[in-house]
Chains A and B, each alone.
Chain A
Amino acid sequence: MLKIIIAFLSLLIALPVYAIDGTALLKQVDRNLSPESYESYRKLINIEPNGRKKEYTLFTVKKGVDKVASLFLAPASEKGRSTLRLGDNMWLYIPNVGKPIRITSIQSVVGGVFNNADILQLDYAAEYNVEKVEEKGGEYLLYLKAKTKTVAYDRLKIWADKGKKLPTKIECLTEANMLIKTLYFKDVKDFGGGLVRPSVIETDSPLYKGYKSVMIFAKVKARDFKDEVFTLTFMPNLESLR
């Protein structure tokens, strides 16, 4: 009887050690990647198999779990374009066209491997539930399932560094576990204000053989914005936030 009680008590003590709270871990990964509300600059580089490159520079602002907007600063052909995401709603504002038009998450306003959902990325925990977490040496492997059908990828597999709780690699998959693209998180850098995160995300895709896209982050810093900034009416005015 004593053995049973000891075994039961040991199990009770042991369980909290091994059961990882996947949701809490994912939220931690989100916060380690960026403050909940922030501004940042990004350079997107599309690299063709022959080495030819096309670059885009964006200013991005985010608030809370579901509001993000980006303004194209370069090249000249894209300057002034802006994109807005409010939850599942996405719009593109082209100065010539004048009015914002609705776009979808799986389209890409820049071409290449990154799509609109990658460019207007929300917190992972806002869009995905954690199905299970495995430990692989120095990394966690999180298996994520989209909360709704409107999310760009049905499933994600996130490899996260155990110590830093930062992603090193993310596989984006279909419902049937077909690989759409892989994101590689590189060059961890101190952005100041306690934010230490990868400064480069590279991506490739079996759907775009030989093509590669790179996203480089700069000046990521916490900043609060009014909700009115994340509206269609404000889209032509995003430049005033810089």
Chain B
Amino acid sequence: MKQLHGSLTLAFLFFAFGIASSSFAEEHTFDISEIEKKPYHIGGNLELKPVLFGLDKNASLYKLKFYNRDEGNTLEEYDAKLQLEGSLEKGIAKLSVKTNTDYKKSYLGEDQQTAVYEGFLSIKPSSSLSIDIGKKALKWGKGYAWNPAAFIDRPKDPDDPELSLEGFLVASADYIKSFQGPLKTVSFTPVLIPVYNHVNNTFGDIDKLNFAGKLYFLFYDTDIDLIVLTGGSKTTRYGVDFSRNITTNLEIHGEFAFINDYKKKFIDSNGTNFEKEYDAKSYLIGMRYLTEKDTTYIIEYYRDGSGFTSGEMKDYFSFINKGYDSYISTGSSTLLKNASNVTEGNYGKINPMRDYIYLRVSQKEPFDILYFTPSVTLITNINDKSFSFSPELLYTGITNLELRLKTAFVSGERLSEYGEKQNDYRAELRVKYYF
């Protein structure tokens, strides 16, 4: 007994000393080996995401996709994503690569796709100049949910604006100059975008060498960008954006885009094709506001001058419904296939209409729960009063692990954008591990 007591005391002392010393060591030492720079870096993240969709069987987009099959009232999907990042640095040169592999198991079976999102060589002769050649996502613009002036980026999803996006093959440079006085910084970013059969062929018309440029100023504490894209793959377009902190807790930003000779392709309710050419003007104005209680509000108004009017969208949905009725009565899916053809990259854009409001409210660490952020996001289509509402819970308290539980509900009248989405609701759990 005495021996057991002695051993317990010793174990207790050892444990107590262990905690005390490890706590001291962890709090007050900084292992220099942690910060030694290596010429290479390998990392990435792995994401697992089960999703449940609640289907709206009366919606046009449900009919377009499921006209010849019945998958019940709900659909399950299991998504996984692996993103690998690597870099190798030598002298003034650095090679960076980022790959993305998506795995999906859904009612259609299993699918897997891998793409190189980015892969470019960067040369930095000085802190004022860098030259990049390769596949790169530039991500221009100041808007959080939408970026009308980001002419050489793939459109982001306002429902998840922080997702990484695939770039285009470009040659670009950054030249930076700093000054004293109200004009603190000027930087110039020229970009060449070749578009040929096997190079950037989703960007626009092929066999063209396009030029884009961004001129940035930090002027009177305001970020200002002047942007241009020309070269023929897309019609020439000009953009300007700005961002500024008004107070320590209030930021405002905006973007404006002018697209020369924009060609809009649309159909009437009988499926007849039309094309209209005009100069499209798009803009966005937004703000980010932080309250004393750590609630962040992000509000944006977006006007897409290239978007469809309520009437044009109603015609599109009516045509799908006609196609579906025709399929039911005759068994012919010709009209639905025609509708499918005009959907891709046109009516099928994430937000295809004209006027939207984005509101995101997030509360940092409520009830003193560190690293916990609940939030709600509302995206409203002002033209047809339909909307999507997404509450989410985010927890990042475990090092390198991010847990996000998110649901999304859409609502709207028949023939409205969100009223005709294939799902009434969506619920998903995203587990993301960084390494």
Contacts and interface: CB of A to CB of B under 8 A. Distances in A.
Closest 4 A/B residue pairs (Cβ): A98-B139, A227-B178, A77-B434, A76-B434
Contacts of A8: none
A240 B39 CA distance: 11
B128 A226 contact: yes
Interface size bracket, A side:
35 or more
B164 interface: yes
Interface of B: 23, 26-30, 32, 34-35, 37, 43, 45, 89, 94, 122, 124, 126-128, 130, 137-142, 144, 161-165, 174, 176-178, 184-185, 187, 189, 216, 218, 221, 223, 243-245, 247-251, 253, 288, 290, 294, 296, 364-365, 368, 370-371, 396-397, 399-402, 434-435
Interface in A168-222: 187, 200, 208-209, 211, 214, 216-219
Nearest to A49: B368
Contacts of B371: 54, 111
Given A48-B370, A218-B32, A106 B27 contact: no
B370 A211 contact: yes
A214 to B, nearest CB: 5
Interface of A: 41, 43, 45-48, 51-55, 57, 59, 73-77, 79, 86-90, 94-99, 101-102, 104-108, 111-112, 149-152, 187, 200, 208-209, 211, 214, 216-219, 225-234, 237, 240-242
A57 B37 CA distance: 13
A240 B91 CA distance: 9
B162 A86 contact: no
Contact of A237 (B124, B178, B253): B124
A104 B245 contact: yes
B102 to A, nearest CB: 16
A200 B28 contact: yes
A96 B221 CA distance: 25
Given A43-B30, A96-B163, A231-B218, A104 B249 contact: yes
Nearest to B369: A48
Contact of A216 (B28, B94, B249, B401): B28
Contacts of A230: 178
Contact of B247 (A51, A53, A150, A187): A150
